[in-house]
Amino acid sequence: MKTANELSFIHRFQPGSEPGRPPILLLHGTGGNEDDLLPLGGMIAPGAALLSPCGKVLEGGMPRFFRRLSEGVFDEDDVRRRAHELADFVAEAREAYDLPAPVALGFSNGANIAAAVLQLRPEALAGAALLRAMTPLRDPPSADLAGKPVLIVSGAMDPIVPADDPNRLAHLLEAAGAIVTHRVLPTGHGLSQTDVDLARAWIGQLASDPAAER
């Protein structure tokens, strides 16, 4: 078994203080790092264990979880490789820290890699909250997401995410069996207090309904 220092991503881990809360996998946006979403995780899932890796891809010196060819145009071969890489890290971290499958909480690029992990390695996650996500793969493989809860929160005035794209992602995940909640807020790409409130309520429901974590 690998020790925490031997895991394949630079990361932070904060043990949980409330048994029964699912651990949260925090996935930052472009330019973030392993510390970036820890405060957000504490607000949205108080008492949960927090696992926060740093993306390995650099774009102009800014960490990301996969390459893009231009804004909104993804290197899908790299998306697939990096999604498997992240799923392998989750498996390592679960063994090192004795964790059940986590729920991903991703913002922007982090939300996109979380969606790719759901589609390529569904066993790695118990569910996902995807904040300002885009569809990461144009032709994803068939995945069994039966019963997995997914929250998608989009911004109606988001200049980065095409208006119809989150709907397409929601439909793809629903077709694979996920239980998808999609909310559209009157905001842009940045996060608002409403995002925090929605995600906190959604994750709180998972903690009170263990069957939702399948």
169-184 tens-digit pLDDT: 999 999 999 999 999 9
What single DSSP character describes residue 108? Answer: T
Query: Is 212 a member of any domain?
Result: no
Specify whether the CB–CB gap between 154 and 189 falls below 8 A: no
Asked if the structure places residue 213 within a domain, the reply is no
User: pLDDT tens for residues 58-111?
Assistant: 999 999 999 999 888 899 999 999 999 999 999 999 999 999 999 999 999 999
Q: What is the CATH number of the domain that holds 194?
A: 3.40.50.1820
pLDDT band at 214 (very low <50, low <70, confident <90, very high): very low
Tokens of 146: 């039966």
Q: Write out the catalytic residue numbers.
A: 108, 158, 189
What is the widest separation between alpha-carbon atoms in the chain? 47
Average pLDDT value for the chain: 94
Residue 113 lies in a domain: yes
Query: What's the confidence (pLDDT) of residue 71?
Result: 83
- DSSP secondary structure string for all residues of 49-82: -EEEEPPSEEETTEEESS-EEETTEE-HHHHHHH
Task: Give the chain's domain count.
Answer: 1
pLDDT digits (tens, 9 = 90+) for 125-172: 999 999 999 999 988 999 999 999 999 999 999 999 999 999 999 999
Which domain covers residue 159, as residue numbers? 4-207
Any domain includes 97: yes
Kindly state whether residue 175 falls inside one of the protein's structural domains: yes
Residue 214 resides in a domain: no
- In angstroms, the CA 114 to CA 106 distance is 6
